[in-house]
Structure 1
Amino acid sequence: MKKDISIIGVPMDLGQSRRGVDMGPSAMRYAGMIERLESLGYNIDDCGDIEIGRPERDHNGPKLKNLKAVAEANEELAKAIDKEINKERFPLVLGGDHSIAIGTLAGVTKPYKNLGVIWYDAHGDLNTAETSPSGNIHGMPLAVSIGIGDSALTNIAGFGPKVKPENIVIIGARSLDKGERELIKEKGIKVYTMHEIDRLGMTQVMNEAIAYLNERTDGVHLSLDLDGLDPTDAPGVGTPVNGGISFRESHLAMEMLAEAGILTSAEFVEVNPILDDKNKTATVAVDLAGSLFGEKLL
């Protein structure tokens, strides 16, 4: 991976209903994200945070809650990432709820003909306005990125789709809505649920995922939602789901990605300090980033 990293914070909680995840970027910085990466020899440029503002929230309104504000924030994020990529720097985005992945993928995909995506998450985030039980856009970014959804989201940065379904690998899924399950089957998206992780082990899952992406992509983005981990290890998330990936398994996954050297961008999302225990989840994010960027015990 490139030795020059640009950190971009996106303090947004408009993609979901539980407040507090907007403090995620600050929590990860406070937990030592920048210092950790600098200790590994990386040159860090903290670009600060995307300006979000405080629009009135659509609590009980349309099927796509806070659509205008979410779209505007993601447009700004895509521009910020594009600027850093043009400087040949590695974009590391800190969220914020997972709707920010719409802007992240819009920004990171341009240099690649076949960008691959590792979606490390308890959820598929493949809902649409029609299938979503809540109307929360943080459950839709992967669908949007393959070109399915409202045009205000699918056309961010002026083009779409951002990624091909066959270039996506979801890891850690254990909560999928009916519409998401149907879309996964229809589009042939590769998914490793907790069943596969338990049955095969994380080593085989990651070996298969890395080999799969190596065959068909020319760059890989990691979108890591902290709710992919079990709530005992990462309690400070808005939509926890029991029976998740362990802290140690996640370290192994990050270590294997570091050894593979395939990542071209990454984001860590859904850290919610209000729901956390002494900033534990932000600290976990920093620990995983250390492994992702090559930290070793010996």
Structure 2
Amino acid sequence: MTARATHSFGLIWIDSIAALMPEGEDGIDLPERSVLARALGLDHKPGALQPQLSPENVVIVGLRHADPAEARVLKDSRVSAFTMTDIDAMGMRDLMHEAIRIATSGTQGFHVSYSPEVTEFAGWEAGSGGITVRETHQAMEAIALSGGLLSMDVSGLTSGLEPRIAIDTVNFVMSAFGKRIL
């Protein structure tokens, strides 16, 4: 069922991982690997969050890694996921139009969650095989043009992050909020 609440929102998750690791899988307890599962109410631990999102309005863009347990969760959920293969086949422009359509269907707009590890920066191993810097800007520009952006977060910013990557990340955020060349 599409979210119909007055304050309903979608989510565009731009990251190389799905963050849908089921609780207790293989004895692994890595909060960053299950944050999306928790937001979708798939975490059944005591004190777990109530579902905050409708899976039909959640889109993962740039997926490169999925544990077999996460792949099962993803297939069983109604979350849409676009892998690097999908980006190569569709092109970032068309893919983002589809992602935005999914995230805004029956919602007031969408939140964007971006991780720099989805982007392939020259010489940075964490983003190896990811979307290009230009594709990242293109995704953020599509977000701005849609007019549906309600909020945004950036994960993975640490003091050890190379300054050039942090600067590009700030530029991506500015693009998402509408910064243009002309």
TM over 0.5: yes
Whether contact under 8 Å (2:111, 2:152) holds in the other structure is yes
Q: Which residue of 1 aligns with 2:152?
A: 266
* Counterpart among 65, 69, 79 of residue 189 in structure 1: 79
Moved over 6 A (4+): none
Q: Report whether the alignment pairs 1:198 with 2:88.
A: yes
Structure 1 residue 269: Cα displacement: 1.0
Whether contact under 8 Å (2:56, 2:102) holds in the other structure is no
Structure 1 residue 130: Cα displacement: 2.3
Q: Report whether the alignment pairs 1:167 with 2:57.
A: yes
SS of structure 1 residue aligned to 2:71: helix
Q: Which residue of 2 aligns with 1:127?
A: 21
Structure 1 residue 241: Cα displacement: 4.7
Q: Report whether the alignment pairs 1:256 with 2:142.
A: yes
Give runs of aligned pairs for residues 4-83 of structure 1, distance below 5 A: none
Structure 1 residue 231: Cα displacement: 4.5
SS of structure 2 residue aligned to 1:127: coil
Structure 2 residue identity aligned to 1:248: R
SS of structure 2 residue aligned to 1:273: coil
SS of structure 2 residue aligned to 1:170: strand
**Distance in 1 between the 2:151 and 2:128 partners?**
28
Structure 2 residue identity aligned to 1:218: Q
Structure 1 residue identity aligned to 2:77: K
Structure 1 residue 128: Cα displacement: 2.4
Q: Which residue of 2 aligns with 1:283?
A: 167
SS of structure 1 residue aligned to 2:101: helix
Whether contact under 8 Å (2:114, 2:153) holds in the other structure is yes
Structure 2 residue identity aligned to 1:151: P
Q: Count residues with an aligned counterpart.
A: 177
Q: Which has the larger radius of gyration?
A: 1
Whether contact under 8 Å (1:132, 1:139) holds in the other structure is no
Structure 1 residue 296: Cα displacement: 1.0
SS of structure 1 residue aligned to 2:25: coil
Percent identity for Structure 1 against Structure 2: 29
Q: Report whether the alignment pairs 1:212 with 2:102.
A: yes
Structure 1 residue 133: Cα displacement: 6.7
Whether contact under 8 Å (1:174, 1:241) holds in the other structure is no
**Distance in 1 between the 2:164 and 2:22 partners?**
32
Q: Which residue of 1 aligns with 2:133?
A: 247
User: Gapped runs of 5+ residues in structure 1?
Assistant: 1-109
Structure 2 residue identity aligned to 1:120: I
Change (3 A) 1:267 1:115: same
**Distance in 2 between the 1:175 and 1:121 partners?**
9
Q: Which residue of 2 aligns with 1:43?
A: none
Q: Which residue of 1 aligns with 2:35?
A: 141
Change (3 A) 1:141 1:222: same
Q: CA RMSD in A?
A: 1.9
Q: Report whether the alignment pairs 1:229 with 2:124.
A: no
**Distance in 2 between the 1:140 and 1:132 partners?**
13
SS of structure 2 residue aligned to 1:151: coil
Structure 1 residue 138: Cα displacement: 0.5
After TM superposition, the score normalised by the length of structure 1 is 0.56
